[in-house]
Amino acid sequence: MPQRGLTRAAILFLAAGVMAGARADLLPSSVPLTAEASVDEAPGIYDVKAFGARGDGKTLDTEAVQQAIEQASAHGGGKVRCPAGAYPCLSIHLRSNIALYLDQGASLIAADPGAMTGYDPPEPNQWDAFQDFGHSHWHNSLIWGEQVENVSILGPGLIWGRGLTRNDDVPKGGGNKSISLKLCRNVIIKDLSMLHGGHFAILATGVDNLTIDNLKIDTNRDGIDIDCCRNVRVSNCSVNSPFDDGICPKSSYALGFPRATENLTITNCQVSGYDEGTFLNGTYKREYQKFSHGSPTGRIKFGTESNGGFKNIAISNCVFDYSRGLALETVDGGLLEDVTITNITMRDISGAPIFMRLGNRARGPKGSTPVGALRRVIISNVVVYNADPKYSSIISGIPRHPIEDLTLSNIRIYCRGGGTKEQAALDPAEKEKDYPEPYMFGEMPAYGFFIRHVQGLEMSDVDVALMSPDQRPAFVLDGVKGADFVHVKAASAAGAPTFVLKSVEDFSTRMCWPAADKRIERATLERL
């Protein structure tokens, strides 16, 4: 009787062991590591075992998988099938009109580079000074495609980036991305699980008509990075990325020119920061202690690379759990505009639940990277429970460059509280050129919202509540022009104001509690 390939459960067992320092020989002896090639495939289907792939978890199968892709391409396209088994590979090159399909029980594994073999070297890029190394190179990946079209990478199998590094300083022969795409179109990535994906589980740069659906990603750095892409649909994905961002639209200078990420939807997704590997194995542990700035990441974030900007974007029906909050950042000259975000739930949030930053880092060609703009954003129907008390939600432009035309409605935020009078007296520095993160400003003088350099703000049906007493005001407004608060509720300690206004013009409250109805044309410093 022919033996079967390595099962998916065994692969996950082995992956967890390798990440914990275990050896492959600890795999249960009842799980055989050999597999026989499939025969009698239907026309248009190219089984990698028919091209010599072993699928035994030991033999390097790069050549067989690549031969199957080339044969399919030579015949005008088709499905390249990996049946159940474990396929260690180095760099695999995608071709147009190809579907790479991983059966249930199939695992494509990023092999450990050897002295004589390795991943494709990173290609030259004269623009790599303007973004991280990982954003500037695509070829040093497990799977990569450049200028291909009509391509699919489909599950329900597993991609395990076992041999990939998460760092920018990639050793010779090393790889740092699981899937990397540059200047492609009509791409589908669907129904896969991904584990330990390297610097990026998926990096798509300059890709048009991209569909990413029903992925389960459990990784050690970024999950899905959508850079300079147009007409993108991300749906039904769960991304666990404790050490970096989960779903991350970007618009870098990696292509040698600014290109916006636009016409993007993200819907029915979850982002989280559980210990790596514990999302896919169902234990959802929260035991890691070593995080960047002391907290898991795992969020939806626009930026930081933001030369080309972000336009015409809708995010809906998403869950954040044990992660940082939502971040919208443009600091490299791009326009971030025409965005709607609705039906969001967050629990156990570190950092700011909502962080909006217009800055002037200006990482781009000297003399051609102006200050960008952040405008016309609507955020509605948001519930946040157990938010980090050190940081409020932060909406901050810079002097002479305000964030414009914001509408926030039907929002409930429950903050842990505990803020002091000393924190309430803080005046955060501007830090116009700093890397944008909530912690850049230090602890906040408000527990609800810190709003600075904004023109045109409407907040309605917003409730900021405390889980324990806090001596800070709920809202601090600084350098704001045109702010209307309607049916806004806040809990503040006795003697603490609800609003602190500094250099504010055209401010009004209506049906707010505990603040009375009021209209103020100009306030140098006022507490309400």
Tell if the pTM clears 0.95, that is, is over it: no
**pLDDT given for residue 38 in this prediction:** 41
Q: How far is CA 369 from CA 197, 226, 259, 454, in A?
A: 32, 21, 13, 22
Render pLDDT for 383-431 as a digit per residue (tens, 0 to 9): 999 999 999 999 999 999 999 999 999 999 999 999 999 999 999 999 9
Q: Specify whether the CB–CB gap between 240 and 221 falls below 8 A.
A: no
pLDDT band at 286 (very low <50, low <70, confident <90, very high): very high
**pLDDT given for residue 35 in this prediction:** 38
Whether pLDDT at 307 is above 90:
yes
Whether pLDDT at 169 is above 80:
yes
**pLDDT given for residue 493 in this prediction:** 76
Render pLDDT for 228-275 as a digit per residue (tens, 0 to 9): 999 999 999 999 999 999 999 999 999 999 999 999 999 999 999 999
Whether pLDDT at 13 is above 90:
no
**pLDDT given for residue 11 in this prediction:** 52
DSSP state letter for 401: B
C-alpha to C-alpha distance for 452 and 395, rounded to whole angstroms: 6
**pLDDT given for residue 213 in this prediction:** 98
C-alpha to C-alpha distance for 392 and 248, rounded to whole angstroms: 22
Mean pLDDT of 27-51: 60
Mean residue pLDDT of the chain comes to: 92
pLDDT band at 15 (very low <50, low <70, confident <90, very high): low
Residues in the chain: 528
Whether pLDDT at 116 is above 90:
no
C-alpha to C-alpha distance for 294 and 437, rounded to whole angstroms: 13
Asked if the peptide bond before residue 258 counts as cis, ω within 30 degrees of 0, the response is no
pLDDT band at 3 (very low <50, low <70, confident <90, very high): very low
Render pLDDT for 316-369 as a digit per residue (tens, 0 to 9): 999 999 999 999 999 999 999 999 999 999 999 999 999 999 999 999 999 889
Mean pLDDT of 469-480: 97
**pLDDT given for residue 36 in this prediction:** 39
Q: Specify whether the CB–CB gap between 195 and 171 falls below 8 A.
A: no
Whether pLDDT at 18 is above 60:
no
Give the burial class of 139: count Cβ atoms within 10 A of its Cβ; 0-12 exposed, 13-18 middle, 19 or more buried: middle
Mean pLDDT of 211-227: 98
Whether pLDDT at 186 is above 60:
yes
pLDDT band at 4 (very low <50, low <70, confident <90, very high): very low
Render pLDDT for 191-201 as a digit per residue (tens, 0 to 9): 999 999 999 99
The residues facing 210 across adjacent strands are: 187, 232
